[in-house]
């Protein structure tokens, strides 16, 4: 864990345990009201579905976003086999169902292992990536699908925690720019049965851990921290 000291001013960072069903922007607005300052941002968006570690930057620390942009991430995820949805997660409409009954645990483990390492990944339409100056998720809400360029990512570790078909729980350590919902979709495609994500929890951003994060309702100025990394 990087060295941290308390801040005397409204400058610093707060490790927040983001709950599900909130946008990252909702969290920023909440912290603004709690601390009575407008100068608040975050380092690394979490979808409304996702929960877990969100680094909130306050005051002068909002300028430090680039330092976090390249950090590796760690996530806990649960995917469901046999269903493809419009958004790649359980919040979308099911558009295709496929049989997964003949897929063995051995095959699942084999496919998961094949996704470790460097690869190309196409950002999902519900991501915050800009194409033609517009956020993909804004286009997706209008029912518009556009061509996206693939990006190079690295899956350092992809470990299965449990299998209880149709659900597979896993832990992944990955490079910046990795989309867990797309990873779930690609695994489903490789298994020829489809899949979508039903849970995402971010456990770490670089050296910062969810175990050190503050619950949203408990946040106050005493949690502002200065980091010497």
Pairwise CA distance, residues 224 & 63, whole Å: 16
Task: Give the model's pLDDT for residue 137.
Answer: 64
What does the alpha-carbon distance between residue 16 and residue 13 come to, in Å, rounded to a whole number?
9
Look-up of token digits 């877990």: 52
Contact 86, 125 (CB under 8 A): no
Stretch (H or E) spanning 189: helix 180-190
Q: How far apart are the first and last CA of the chain?
A: 10
For the record, the structure tokens of 13 come out as 């960072």
Instruction: Write down the pLDDT at residue 228.
Output: 52
Question: Cα 182 vs. chain centroid, distance in angstroms?
Answer: 11
Q: What is the pLDDT of residue 45?
A: 87
The structure tokens 């804004």 sit at 138
* H or E element, residue 67: helix 65-69
Domains and CATH numbers, the chain: 4-70+207-227 (3.30.2350.10), 73-205 (3.30.2350.10)
A 10 A CB-CB count for 215 gives 10
> Phi and psi dihedrals of 210, rounded to 5?
-60, -30
Helix (H, G, I), strand (E, B) or coil at 225: strand
Q: What is the pLDDT of residue 3?
A: 43
**One digit per residue, pLDDT tens: the chain, 229 residues?**
444 444 446 899 999 999 999 999 999 999 999 999 999 999 988 989 999 999 999 999 999 888 888 899 999 999 999 999 998 999 999 999 999 999 999 999 999 999 999 999 987 766 666 766 666 666 666 676 767 788 899 999 999 999 999 999 999 999 999 999 999 999 999 999 999 999 999 999 999 999 999 999 999 988 888 865 5
Q: What is the pTM of this model?
A: 0.89
What percent of the chain is helix, strand and coil (3-state, nearest 5)?
A: 25, 40, 35
Q: Which residues are catalytic?
A: 47
């Amino acid at each position: 864990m990087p060295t941290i000291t308390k801040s005397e001013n409204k400058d610093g960072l707060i490790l927040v345990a983001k709950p599900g069903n909130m946008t990252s922007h909702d969290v920023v607005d909440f912290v603004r009201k709690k601390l009575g300052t407008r100068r608040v941002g975050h380092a690394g968006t979490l979808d409304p579905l996702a929960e877990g570690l969100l680094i909130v930057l306050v005051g002068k620390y909002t300028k430090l976003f680039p330092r976090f942009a390249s950090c590796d991430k760690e996530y806990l995820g649960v995917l469901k086999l046999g269903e493809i949805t419009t958004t790649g997660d359980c919040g979308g409409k099911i558009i295709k169902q496929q049989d997964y009954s003949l897929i063995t645990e051995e095959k699942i483990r084999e496919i998961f292992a094949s996704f470790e390492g460097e690869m190309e990944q196409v950002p999902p339409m519900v991501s915050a990536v800009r194409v033609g100056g517009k956020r993909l998720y804004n286009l997706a809400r209008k029912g518009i699908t556009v061509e996206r360029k693939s990006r190079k990512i690295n899956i350092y570790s992809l470990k299965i925690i449990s299998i209880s078909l149709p659900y597979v729980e896993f832990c992944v350590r990955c490079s910046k720019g990795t989309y867990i919902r797309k990873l779930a979709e690609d695994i489903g495609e490789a298994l020829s049965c489809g899949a979508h994500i039903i849970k995402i929890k971010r456990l770490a951003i670089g050296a910062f851990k969810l175990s050190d994060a503050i619950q949203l309702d408990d946040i106050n100025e005493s949690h502002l921290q200065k980091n010497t990394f």
